[in-house]
Amino acid sequence: MSERDPQFFDRADSFIRLANEQMQSGTESGQVSAAFMYGLARYSAWFSASGWKTGEDMADAKAETLEFFVNEYRKMLELNLDDYIDNFDKYIEASRKMQANS
């Protein structure tokens, strides 16, 4: 995560905007979150598969692949949880205003 390209946050924000749009159409936030995580898991499996020549090679690296993706997600989640803890009032107020305007 330390060597990200300039559009990293723009791409991340586009996924968040899509999730927010789904919530505005009446889908509960928990359902949107679950679908978001499933989509990421599916994409990550494809991404991993695209780097192997055979399913057997992929299977041999399954534990290492899981460890990598889980560790990376954990780091990103911890950073964002800390950010929300530090800015809780500001972020929650902005979220409430956004929900009120929808």
pLDDT in tens, 54-69: 999 999 999 999 999 9
Domain 8-100 sits in CATH 3.20.20.450: no
pLDDT > 70 fraction of the chain, expressed in percent and rounded: 96
Segment 44-60 mean pLDDT: 98
Contact between 58 and 48 under an 8 Å Cβ cutoff? The reply is yes
User: In degrees, to the nearest 5, what angle opens at C-alpha 27 toward C-alphas 94 and 88?
Assistant: 25
SS3 37: helix
- Determine the residue type at 78: E
94 vs 24, higher pLDDT = 24
Residues with Cβ within 8 Å of residue 12, at least 6 apart in sequence: none
Using alpha carbons, select from 79, 3, 73 the residue that is nearest to residue 43. 73
Asked whether the predicted pLDDT for residue 3 surpasses 80, the reply is no
Res 102: pLDDT = 64
Asked whether the predicted pLDDT for residue 28 surpasses 80, the reply is yes
Is the model's pTM score more than 0.75?
A: yes
Contact between 15 and 36 under an 8 Å Cβ cutoff? The reply is yes
60-94 pLDDT, tens per residue? 999 999 999 999 999 999 999 999 999 999 999 88
